[in-house]
């Protein structure tokens, strides 16, 4: 495909270029998800899905991280993922939240992420550095995930910002007990623990990640794209019958509802009063992670440092 994107780089790797690679290209903000990035990703995925020569798609991030979540620098406004110049009215003229409008704007993003899950191509997330919040949601919609041993996986947004929409898949991936723990705490796990839990397929040394991911994609790509599409559809049917689509729709509405909770109100008050950086320090300082302060060791009763 010849199209150029503002927020992505698309190239070809592997045998005879049968592996397409999409690089999230907002390294200055650690590939935080913006409406423009979502729009570009949707456009690129649709084009690659129609390309018979493309058998596998690798999704990775430029710079220091795969993706650190949603770009919340413009907190209080919600752009449209389908029309990046448009903004959903998330509050009325009196400043009261409009939950349905908020949910619709969130659903647009979830729909693009779900496209990764159901599109007729095998997709692989190649995660490094941080794969957290919206980045985790994005990676969980791919078919396979490779990572480094030190990459951090978690959803700190649960600590006051909302509910992980596509994170609703976690109980299907790692089981109910651990999924609930990660939901309730927003804690992170490293690549080694993520592999043990089944959150990812492989955790490799950082200097081996790119070559080994391409080799895995090439191995999967030994089959034709149409046969791979049939195999993917067959595997997905099990999860579709378990209600994955309706679950994510429900989680998206719960995400909008979560904006009206006591913790969410305090979060927004702190952002408005103290600024975003200070609010993040308050949010994560209670847990001692994501750079806030050292966390207790496992022997002191805390989860393993992530």
Is the Cβ–Cβ distance between 153 and 175 less than 8 Å?
A: no
Residue 79 burial (CB count, 10 A): 21
Residue 134 burial (CB count, 10 A): 27
Is residue 24 one of the residues assigned to a domain?
Answer: yes
Check whether 91 has a pLDDT greater than 70: yes
Residue 30 phi, psi (nearest 5): 50, 40
Work out the average pLDDT over 83-104. Answer: 83
* Structure tokens that stand for 150 in this block: 């030190």
User: pLDDT value at position 306?
Assistant: 26
Indicate the pLDDT class of residue 253, thresholds 50, 70 and 90. confident
User: pLDDT value at position 1?
Assistant: 65
Out of 76-80, 97-101, 228-232, the most confident range is 228-232
pLDDT digits (tens, 9 = 90+) for 37-54: 999 999 999 999 999 999
Is residue 201 one of the residues assigned to a domain?
Answer: yes
Cα 101 to Cα 271: distance, rounded to the nearest angstrom: 22
Check whether 176 has a pLDDT greater than 60: yes
Q: Report the domain count for the chain.
A: 1
User: pLDDT value at position 86?
Assistant: 77
Is residue 273 one of the residues assigned to a domain?
Answer: yes
Is residue 212 one of the residues assigned to a domain?
Answer: yes
User: pLDDT value at position 74?
Assistant: 57
Q: Which residues pair with 147 in a beta bridge?
A: 127, 203
Check whether 20 has a pLDDT greater than 70: yes
Is residue 306 one of the residues assigned to a domain?
Answer: no
Cα 58 to Cα 12: distance, rounded to the nearest angstrom: 10
Q: How far is CA 63 from the centre of its chain?
A: 16
Is residue 189 one of the residues assigned to a domain?
Answer: yes
Check whether 302 has a pLDDT greater than 70: no
Check whether 36 has a pLDDT greater than 80: yes
Classify residue 115 by burial, with Cβ atoms within 10 Å: 0-12, 13-18, 19+: middle
Cα 77 to Cα 285: distance, rounded to the nearest angstrom: 26
Cα 277 to Cα 279: distance, rounded to the nearest angstrom: 5
Is residue 2 one of the residues assigned to a domain?
Answer: no
User: pLDDT value at position 305?
Assistant: 25
Is residue 51 one of the residues assigned to a domain?
Answer: yes
User: pLDDT value at position 295?
Assistant: 39
Range in 24-33, 146-155, 218-227, 252-261 the model is least confident about: 252-261
CATH of the domain at 128: 3.90.226.10
* Structure tokens that stand for 149 in this block: 């041993």
Q: Where in the sequence is the domain holding 205, given as residue range(s)?
A: 8-300
């Amino acid at each position: 495909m010849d199209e150029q994107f503002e927020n992505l780089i698309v190239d070809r790797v592997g045998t005879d270029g049968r592996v397409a690679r999409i690089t999230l290209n907002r390294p200055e903000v650690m590939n935080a998800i913006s409406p423009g990035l979502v729009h570009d990703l949707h456009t690129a995925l649709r084009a690659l899905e129609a390309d018979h020569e493309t058998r596998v798609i690798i999704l990775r991030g430029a710079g220091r991280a795969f993706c650190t979540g949603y770009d919340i620098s413009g907190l209080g406004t919600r752009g449209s993922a389908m029309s990046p110049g448009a903004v959903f009215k998330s509050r009325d003229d009196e400043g009261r939240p409009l939950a349905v409008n908020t949910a619709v704007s969130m659903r647009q993003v979830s729909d693009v992420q779900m496209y990764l899950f159901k599109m007729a191509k095998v997709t692989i997330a190649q995660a490094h550095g941080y794969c957290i919040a919206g980045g985790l949601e994005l990676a969980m919609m791919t078919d396979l995930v490779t990572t480094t041993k030190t990459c951090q996986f978690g959803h700190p947004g649960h600590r006051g910002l909302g509910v992980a929409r596509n994170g609703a898949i976690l109980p299907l991936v790692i089981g109910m007990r651990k999924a609930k723990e990660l939901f309730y705490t927003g804690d992170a796990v490293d690549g080694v623990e993520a592999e043990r839990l089944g959150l990812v397929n492989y955790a490799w040394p950082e200097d081996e990640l790119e070559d080994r991911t391409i080799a895995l994609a090439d191995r999967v790509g030994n089959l034709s794209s149409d046969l791979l599409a049939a195999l993917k559809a067959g595997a997905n049917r099990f999860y579709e019958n378990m209600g994955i689509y309706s679950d994510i729709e429900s989680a998206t509405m719960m995400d909008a509802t979560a904006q009206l909770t006591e913790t969410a109100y305090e979060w927004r008050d702190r952002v408005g009063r103290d600024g975003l950086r200070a609010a993040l320090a308050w949010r994560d300082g209670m847990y001692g992670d994501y750079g806030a302060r050292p966390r207790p060791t496992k022997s002191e009763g805390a989860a393993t440092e992530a």
